[in-house]
Chains A and B, each alone.
Chain A
Amino acid sequence: MMDQEINEDSGGESSILVWLTGITFFAAMAAIFLFVPTEKTEGPIQRIMYFHIPSAWLSFFAFFIVFVSSILFLWKKEREWDIYANASAEIGVIFCSLVLITGPIWAKPIWGTWWVWDARLTSTLILWLIYVAYLMLRAQTDAGSMRARYAAVLGIVGFLNIPFIHFSVLWWRTFHPQPKVISSEGFGKGMDPSMLATLGVSLGAFTLLYFLLMGQRIRQEKLKDEIDRLKREKLFSS
């Protein structure tokens, strides 16, 4: 019964999502490399922004899902919320890693150095370390409600770093560029409209990718649960 549900989850909806994600990514790549004008001062290297910002958005969104799912798990004690938190944390770490890789690649030709210990960069690294610790906690401790509870607490505490990351460039003088999409001038006022549109398509593609990856990770966790359940049944029957 459970197995049937797991297989049903990966049916037609998933293939529509695969196609939609593929088409949006294709549109994003065409916009990044063919449509959007080259920025005057930075040159072609500025195009990294169209990967870097969506990767950051996706990781923040993923950690927000961890935060909400963790609260709901502690409140309702339902395994479903623990599955969502675990799945989302892994995706968040992958994309936070891409942020920490693409940022220095942009910084080297622009700042002349790969890394500076400013507030934005350091707080992003701390965020990454917190969620790596979250995944290690889950991997190193035995499955059960205590593991889920500890992980939920860490998932909630880790998310509190994200507002700090967002406002760090406003609170301190940092090397990192000031926000241009949501700025004091208004939404997207600090950007060329074609750049804003390209960034929007790229953000859409990365968001669709998140849901696609989440579907796969949730299915994986449910398969693991089903295997554990059958193993227990087999043990008790023999």
Chain B
Amino acid sequence: MDNFGFLFAANAFVWGGIIYYVYTLKQRNRELEKDLALLKEAIGKESR
């Protein structure tokens, strides 16, 4: 009873899930940082 395929599938789901979640977190952070920088730039221009 080897069932290596099932073990591989479980392993792939866990690692795939973690890596995908970390990637989406990084993407969301990057977008928010970009939005913040643009907003600060716009406020800076208005105040000048």
Residues of chain A whose beta carbon lies under 8 Å from any beta carbon of chain B: 3, 42-45, 47-48, 51-52, 55, 94, 97-98, 101-102, 105-106, 108-109, 209, 213, 216-217, 219-220, 223-224, 226-227, 230-231, 233-234, 237-238
User: Which residues of chain B (20-48) have a CB below 8 Å from chain A?
Assistant: 21-22, 25-26, 28-29, 32-33, 35-36, 39-40, 42-43, 46
Bound together, the chains give a CA A36 to CA B35 distance in angstroms of 48
Residues of chain B whose beta carbon lies under 8 Å from any beta carbon of chain A: 1-4, 6-7, 9-11, 13-14, 17-18, 21-22, 25-26, 28-29, 32-33, 35-36, 39-40, 42-43, 46
Is B10 in contact with A102, judged by CB distance below 8 angstroms? yes
- Which residues of B lie under 8 Å from residue A216 when comparing CB positions? 22, 25-26, 29
- Which residues of B lie under 8 Å from residue A97 when comparing CB positions? 17
Is A223 in contact with B2, judged by CB distance below 8 angstroms? no
Is B43 in contact with A213, judged by CB distance below 8 angstroms? no
Q: A230-B43, A238-B46 are in contact. Are A45 and B3 (CB under 8 A)?
A: yes
Is A48 in contact with B46, judged by CB distance below 8 angstroms? no
Chain B at the A interface: SS class: helix
Is B1 in contact with A109, judged by CB distance below 8 angstroms? yes
Bound together, the chains give a CA A216 to CA B27 distance in angstroms of 11
Task: Give the distance to chain A from B39, nearest Cβ to Cβ, in Å.
Answer: 5
Bound together, the chains give a CA A106 to CA B22 distance in angstroms of 25
- Which residues of B lie under 8 Å from residue A238 when comparing CB positions? 46
Bound together, the chains give a CA A226 to CA B35 distance in angstroms of 10
